Amino acid sequence: MSKMFLQQDYDAFMLRLRNAQEAYARAGQESGEACHQSAETTHDNFPYEQAMRDMDLYGRMIRNCIEILNEATVVESLSISSKTVQIGHVVKVANLERNCVEWYRIGSFAVPEVGGDGTSAESPFSISYAGKMGSAFLGRKINDSFRLFDLRNNDFIVVILELTAQPPVV
């Protein structure tokens, strides 16, 4: 199954990959510098051991990014006329449990960051369409009421008040 990305999320994901590649290269250089004295310098050598741990961490991060990118498809932003929630929408909801209004941006398979604080359309929470919360929104319409679960598995009921297409980031 294709992993959908909005262009801005794809670009941010590519930046994450480049940063991991650069960190991996730095760790490789540090491991070489930490053991250049003799063959015995790899034993009980904290800088060398840390560099090797870093290389393992960044290597796994790079492999994970590449696996995702191999299945990635960049999709166009939506038009404002769409009547159901889709990737790229900013959804305004009434949170009936907390008695407040919140905004959620339905983002890509992998969103680069959580985003804003959810208090306005300009600062929505960014959630992946593939995650538990994001998938609960997909296909819903204005005035739909449903139960959501947050990251701590707390549930709450929301009502969709408004859908807007996310403006492209320049």
- Do 158 and 112 sit in the same domain of this protein? yes
Domain that holds residue 160: 89-165
- Do 95 and 149 sit in the same domain of this protein? yes
How much is the pLDDT for 93? 95
Average pLDDT, the chain: 86
- Do 52 and 112 sit in the same domain of this protein? no
Contact 132/106 with Cβ under 8 angstroms?
Answer: no
DSSP for 21-49?
HHHHHHHHHHHHHHT-S-GGGGTT-HHHH
How much is the pLDDT for 168? 47
How large a percentage of the chain has pLDDT more than 70?
A: 87
pLDDT one-digit tens code per residue, 101-132: 999 999 899 877 666 777 777 888 888 999 88
Boundary residue ending a domain (22, 49, 75): 75
How much is the pLDDT for 58? 96
User: Hey, how many other C-beta atoms are within 10 angstroms of the C-beta on 20?
Assistant: 19
pLDDT one-digit tens code per residue, 141-151: 999 999 998 77
State yes or no: pLDDT of 170 exceeds 50: no
Whether this model's pTM surpasses 0.85: no
How much is the pLDDT for 118? 78
**Among the listed residues 141, 147, 137, the one whose alpha carbon sits nearest the alpha carbon of residue 161:** 141
How much is the pLDDT for 116? 74
Boundary residue ending a domain (75, 109, 130): 75
State yes or no: pLDDT of 75 exceeds 50: yes
How much is the pLDDT for 79? 57
Answer yes or no: is 82 within a domain: no
Answer yes or no: is 34 within a domain: yes
Boundary residue ending a domain (75, 100, 130): 75
